[in-house]
């Protein structure tokens, strides 16, 4: 079922279609170079699909169905279009023998047929997937915050570039990103839903990193779902809470709500993997290829995440719908609704 969030005011794109196509390339080129320099990442080529049954594909919230197909030349083994490359990247760090303090990034393209399609979600997903080797001592909230600040610095520079090239676009990002744990959000806004908590906090601060997503909170509920075998959402941290992962969100003035740009975090070590598989009753995954490699110490400790390319462009170019940035499938009803309020879908 499709849904449409109406802009907060009468909507007219600040860039026409030709300007938009040019600006998309400018934003993507500039941001990925800045991200690469900030985190010391080299670009690598990534797969569009992986074999089923290896444990390599990302399970997201655990309910999404991957697009799959039999491979004739491989005895009809089933391949799956990736949801993301969270686990593939970590294996690539090991296979390329990347040193501590360095990492990789790639253009990840995915198909997510179970997405609830709307302004922010499409069947087609494009993001920069990145991963960096870390030490045992760097598995801390303070190190995680440092990485977030570096990414946010790249976001600030990209916004400056866009506003210089297109003066009709005005800057909105604050100089600093705010940090808050999901438990703190629950305590601060106990009567609100997780999304309402995000909106309230991000509207006040302009940009925020919400820490600790995937584990049960004090009220017994999760802030949001995470698979048990990539982000570490269960390790006790120095701030008294659990979790070494989180989301980067910014305030979207066009839609009047928080916009998630990145899901990221320090990845599970062996202890966290065992703990999280037990918490989710998925110990059987230990027999899968990725999980065996992790338990056998053939994968490095790492931090990583994904940054939405179309969402980033949508935000910086002040667009009301992701369909103004990427070519995807939209229902006739969605196209009609968008046309009525001045949203030109590609």
Active-site residues, by number, are 58, 112, 127, 247, 260, 263
Q: Which two tokens stand for residue 2?
A: 């499709």
- CB crowding 168-201: b at 16 or more within 10 Å, else e: ebeebbeeebebbbbbbbbeebeeeebeebbbeb
Percentages of the chain per state (helix, strand, coil), in multiples of 5: 35, 20, 40
Q: Which two tokens stand for residue 226?
A: 């995470």
| CA pair distance 12, 342, nearest whole angstrom | 6
The answer to whether the CB of 207 falls within 8 A of the CB of 250 is yes
The answer to whether the CB of 227 falls within 8 A of the CB of 195 is no
Pairing of strands 302-308, 124-133: antiparallel
Give the list of residues 6+ apart from residue 27 with CB closer than 8 angstroms, or none: 158, 161, 162, 312, 313, 316, 317
């Amino acid at each position: 079922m499709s849904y449409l969030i109406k802009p907060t005011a009468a909507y007219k794109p600040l860039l026409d279609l030709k300007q938009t196509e040019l600006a998309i390339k400018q934003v993507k080129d500039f941001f990925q170079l800045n991200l690469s320099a900030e985190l010391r990442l080299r670009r690598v080529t990534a797969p569009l699909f992986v074999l089923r049954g290896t444990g390599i594909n990302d399970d997201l919230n655990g309910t999404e169905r991957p697009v799959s197909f039999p491979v004739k030349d491989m005895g009809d083994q089933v391949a799956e279009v990736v949801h993301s490359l969270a686990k593939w990247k970590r294996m690539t760090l090991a296979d390329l023998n990347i040193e501590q303090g360095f990492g990789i990034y790639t253009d990840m393209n995915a198909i997510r047929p179970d997405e609830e399609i709307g302004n922010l979600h499409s069947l087609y997903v494009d993001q920069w997937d990145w991963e960096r080797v870390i030490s045992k001592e760097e598995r801390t909230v303070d190190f995680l915050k440092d990485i977030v600040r570096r990414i946010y610095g790249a976001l600030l520079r990209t916004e400056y570039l866009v506003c210089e090239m297109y003066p009709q676009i005005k800057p909105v990002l604050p100089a600093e990103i705010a940090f808050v744990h999901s438990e703190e959000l629950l305590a601060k806004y106990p009567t609100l839903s997780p999304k309402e908590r995000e909106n309230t906090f991000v509207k006040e601060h302009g940009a925020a990193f919400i820490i600790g997503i995937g584990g049960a909170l004090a009220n017994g509920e999760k802030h949001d779902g995470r698979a048990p075998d990539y982000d570490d959402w269960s390790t006790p941290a120095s701030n008294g809470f659990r979790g070494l992962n989180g989301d980067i969100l910014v305030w979207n003035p066009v839609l009047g709500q928080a916009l998630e740009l990145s899901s990221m975090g320090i990845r599970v070590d062996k202890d966290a993997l065992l703990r999280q598989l037990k918490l989710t009753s998925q110990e059987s995954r230990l027999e899968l290829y990725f999980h065996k490699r992790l338990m056998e110490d053939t994968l490095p400790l790492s931090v990583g995440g994904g940054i939405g390319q179309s969402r980033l462009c949508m935000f910086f170019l002040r667009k009301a719908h992701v369909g103004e940035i990427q070519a995807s499938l939209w229902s006739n009803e969605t196209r009609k609704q968008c046309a009525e309020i001045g949203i030109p879908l590609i």
